[in-house]
């Protein structure tokens, strides 16, 4: 929410619980693939959010232009 600049109220609603959590073993990834992330998670999420948002905005602009 902070990356998107949104403030939302989170409210739990009853429903299936599903998986309670997932964790990656980045040490295993580094050893087996000889790869480590080049950016912190928040920075990567911010980049992805900004790209997705630009795609959505471009799509909306095209749709708005086509309806005139």
- pLDDT (tens place) for every residue of the chain, 68 residues total: 999 999 999 998 898 887 777 787 889 989 999 999 899 999 999 999 999 999 999 998 888 776 66
Geometric angle at alpha carbon 20, from 13 and 28, rounded to 5°: 150
pTM: 0.64
- The closest of 68, 59, 61, 48 to 4, measured between CA atoms, is 48
């Amino acid at each position: 929410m902070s990356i998107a600049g949104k403030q939302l109220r989170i409210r739990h609603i009853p429903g299936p619980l599903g998986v309670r959590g997932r964790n990656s073993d980045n040490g295993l990834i580094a050893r087996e693939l000889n790869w480590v992330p080049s950016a912190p998670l928040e920075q990567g999420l911010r980049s992805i959010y900004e790209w997705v948002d630009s795609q959505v905005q471009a799509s909306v602009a095209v749709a708005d232009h086509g309806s005139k």
